[in-house]
Structure 1
Amino acid sequence: MENITTPEKADLAYIEGFEADVKTKSDQFINYFLIAFFVIGLLLAMVYDTWKVALIISLPLLSAYYVTKTLLPKSNLYQYVLSAVLGIFMAQFIYQMHGMFEMHFFAFIGSAILITYQNWRLQIPIAIIVVLHHAIFGYLQYLGNDDIFFSQLDYMDLQTFLIHILLAIVIFFLCGLWAHHIKEYANKHIQQNYTLGKLQKNEEQNNLLRKTNLELDKFAYSVSHDLRAPLLSMKGIIDITDMMTDEEITKKHMVMLRESADKLDTFITDIHNYSRNSRQEIKLQMINFDELLNGLNQQMAYMNGTRAVDIQILTEGNDVFISDKYRVQMVLNNLISNAIRYQKIENENPYVKIKVKINSKDAEISIEDNGIGIEQENYHQIFEMFYRVSDQSKGSGLGLYIVKETVDVLKGSISLTSKKNEGTTFLVKLPNNN
């Protein structure tokens, strides 16, 4: 099965990659602090002779952290274990210092260190450890247990205990809040950078695509011109040869050659028109439809050979029509030539009716024929590149595609109605730029 990466998956992968990098660097940072905490415990043991406490507590703490991290590398559980470990180290140092409250700073240092993971929930285990430690050890000291080192005072009263816990919770809350804000800011920054990167990449791709399209247009334009000249010469030679020979087989061959040359000429013309339509800016000028259509009539009346097609032209409206004359002529030329090309062989009176209605807003052009027609299920395909309505066609399959592209460039519309073996009517509406 093909692996498809959606934009959402790409965004998620990018963010997860950044988070993994942050996690790795934070883990490396934590290693130094854990070693430092362990060494501090040993140094305190040397001064206060608390080796048992230092070793019995420190070694299991480090083991719990590193074993969890090793066994569950893809889980964040080891980070919560780390939070509890940092809180217990604080309790260890207070005990080793015989109740020196300044050792609370190690809990606050641990809380600040946890911010690097950008997860406010990591403040919860260390906060719980601090509260339980103070509650249990403070109560034991209050009961008169001399082996409990919690405070260098005789005991901590309830009011002092509550104030102390409240201040500690405030510090943990602020660290958690900072972790949350840093996480949001980081995600927003990542998303902005990723979006900017995609925009830059898309712009580079668009520039490359524009360059490629321009080169293809230039190539198509050059090829159409370079091929057209020798082809016209070839058609001239075919006509001369046909006139100068009486051999039946030679005349037959000339007819076949002329058909092939005409087909190639049509294809080259269509390529040229397509290339020019995509490259050339719109050039507005006044269009006289009577003059334009009469010229096309003279060119196309005998397209199917000696058998004439009745081309009927009717124009209505006295408004001046302004548009791109070259493109309008291209649309008419393709539609009229198609109407003639797809006439029924058995039809006694082939015709093409062209009606133009002009007003100040637009021009409505109707081109009706009594040809072979188009089945309704093929309506949506006829404007596709290289699609042919029938095997009877000698065209390139580009004509109607070019018509649709050209009408779109002129910001117009095109539609059709047709019945099989009865004929087709195309309706084109082009805006008047008057």
Structure 2
Amino acid sequence: MQMKQKDENLDQSAHIAEFLSAIKTKSDRLANYFIFTFFAFGLFLATFYDTWQIAVGVGGLLLVAYFSAKMVLADSDLYQYVLSAVLGIFMAQFIYQMHGLFEMHFTAFLSSAILITYQKWKLQIPLLIIVIVHHALFAYMQYSGVGGIYFTQLDHMSLQTFIFHIVLVAAIFSVCGLWAYQFKKYSEMHIDLIFKKKEIENMELKRANYELDHFVYSASHDLRAPLNSMLGLIEIAKDETEEDHTLEYLEALKGNAERLDTFICDILDYSRNLRTDVSNDSISYKELLNDIEQNLKFMGDNSRSVDFITAIRGDSPVFSDKSRLNNILNNLISNAIRYQDTEKKNPFVKIEIDILEDETHIVISDNGIGIPEESQPKIYDMFYRASNKAVGSGLGLYIAKEALNKLGGQIKVTSKVGEGTAFYIQIPNRQIIKI
């Protein structure tokens, strides 16, 4: 339970990281537009105030600084702080180009608003530091009588005016930082709500699936008793009549009842595979194959027999789920018998088992009718029949694949129409993986 909760938390964290990455990508694209716009605006101001050296020199260096940082620091977010500082220096450039025009201070506020898109309040800090240092240094230099500073169109900025100005700037940047923080929290809360809703839906779905599975299992189990009684009554009726038509009808009824019983057994196997835990039994493949051969020896065409060829190599101890292994092998071998080529004189089913220390390799091959290439990817689908000669429920290979998934195994198929089919199975030794 704790492991499941841990996986869900990791999944949620991954989605939050993915969401923030998408925000970062879009914000970077927006920042690129704005920083080029700032550079172009500096060139525009230069046409009126003849400050081309500043516009091209300072603006060009700022572009180089930002994009170089973005390239070098691509794996971190430090380039975003470089962007914040660059935007602040652009403000200082515009003020200088406009000979201290007060309105150019508002470009810093515009930059602060741009940075909100990253949803990081700390990005306001480099911009605020640049503004404070710039205002303090240039205001003092202008007050000291240094010429060509162009900080303000007034003679100088008084200390009181400077303090009020900085407090106002800090308040605006703080509001923008708060918005960035709130946006990030809202995004995380929104993702959290989505996951909680998804978790509730998953719990409801699991409960519904459990109830449905319980109903199917109970209904299927309860259906077998009257069905077996029906089969018994059919046999009694056949013994008490010699009328050909009646015997023909009873035989047809028996065949349909047996097919229904097979279908119900398949449903029970599927439900049992879902409901039961994987056991750790000691496996003897020789005994397992002998039991399966005895159960299937009367299957198929009674006019001829199918040769069983078995080869078991390796003597390492094997531990796995005996019931599921029996189900897997029984399904594959019975299919090999069921779909034999009636035109071939010597039908066979070959089972080769190689037991290794950590896993078992099984190959079940036949010389039957084969599976068309276009059908092979679909043979594990529920209720899919690869041949028009199929008489089963269409659940056998689906159940075998599901059982193999429970055991941590794999299955592959190769087949050619008219030549035969081979299934390749790999099953881990549960004693080795210590389950």
TM-score clears 0.5: yes
Structure 2: distance between partners of 1:347 and 1:243: 36
TM-aligned CA deviation for residue 318 of structure 1: 1.2
Name stretches of at least 5 consecutive residues in structure 1 with no aligned partner. 1-6, 16-110, 122-156
> Who is 2:312 aligned against?
315
Given the alignment, which residue of 332, 340, 343 partners 2:340?
343
Q: Are 1:189 and 2:185 an aligned pair?
A: yes
TM-aligned CA deviation for residue 162 of structure 1: 4.7
> Who is 1:354 aligned against?
351
Structure 1: distance between partners of 2:163 and 2:300: 99
Alignment of 1:262-277 (within 5 A): 262-277=258-273
Q: Are 1:214 and 2:185 an aligned pair?
A: no
> Who is 1:240 aligned against?
236
> Who is 1:383 aligned against?
380
Name stretches of at least 5 consecutive residues in structure 2 with no aligned partner. 1-14, 24-108, 125-153
> Who is 2:219 aligned against?
223
Q: Deviations over 1:84-140 (max 9, x none)?
A: xxxxxxxxxxxxxxxxxxxxxxxxxxx9xxx9xx9999xxxxxxxxxxxxxxxxxxx
Given the alignment, which residue of 398, 413, 416 partners 1:416?
413
Contact 1:304 1:341 in 2 (8 A): yes
Contact 1:372 1:421 in 2 (8 A): yes
> Who is 1:25 aligned against?
none
TM-aligned CA deviation for residue 177 of structure 1: 1.1
> Who is 1:279 aligned against?
275
Alignment of 1:59-70 (within 5 A): none
Structure 2: distance between partners of 1:368 and 1:240: 40
Q: Secondary structure at the match of 1:348?
A: coil
Q: What's the TM-score once normalised by structure 2's chain length?
A: 0.62
Structure 2: distance between partners of 1:185 and 1:276: 52
Q: What's the TM-score once normalised by structure 1's chain length?
A: 0.62
Distance 1:189-1:219 versus aligned 2 partners, 3 A rule: same
How many residues are matched? 292
Residues 298-307 or 219-228, more deviating: 298-307
Q: Are 1:395 and 2:385 an aligned pair?
A: no
Structure 1: distance between partners of 2:212 and 2:280: 26
Q: Deviations over 1:12-56 (max 9, x none)?
A: 9xx9xxxxxxxxxxxxxxxxxxxxxxxxxxxxxxxxxxxxxxxxx
Q: Are 1:288 and 2:279 an aligned pair?
A: no
TM-aligned CA deviation for residue 254 of structure 1: 2.3
Distance 1:289-1:263 versus aligned 2 partners, 3 A rule: same
Q: Secondary structure at the match of 2:430?
A: coil
Q: Identity, % of aligned pairs?
A: 40
TM-aligned CA deviation for residue 259 of structure 1: 1.8
> Who is 1:327 aligned against?
324
TM-aligned CA deviation for residue 286 of structure 1: 0.3
Structure 1: distance between partners of 2:365 and 2:240: 40
> Who is 1:249 aligned against?
245
Give the residue type in structure 2 aligned to 1:243. Answer: D
Structure 2: distance between partners of 1:400 and 1:412: 14
TM-aligned CA deviation for residue 345 of structure 1: 2.9
Give the residue type in structure 1 aligned to 2:197. Answer: K
TM-aligned CA deviation for residue 355 of structure 1: 1.4
Given the alignment, which residue of 421, 429, 434 partners 1:432?
429
Alignment of 1:12-51 (within 5 A): none
Q: Secondary structure at the match of 2:281?
A: strand
> Who is 1:65 aligned against?
none
> Who is 1:146 aligned against?
none
Contact 1:302 1:309 in 2 (8 A): no
Q: Secondary structure at the match of 2:423?
A: strand
TM-aligned CA deviation for residue 305 of structure 1: 4.3
Distance 1:237-1:349 versus aligned 2 partners, 3 A rule: farther
Structure 2: distance between partners of 1:423 and 1:178: 76
> Who is 2:68 aligned against?
none
Residues 192-201 or 343-352, more deviating: 343-352
Q: Deviations over 1:313-349 (max 9, x none)?
A: 2211111110000100010111111111111233332
TM-aligned CA deviation for residue 396 of structure 1: 0.6
Structure 2: distance between partners of 1:378 and 1:305: 25
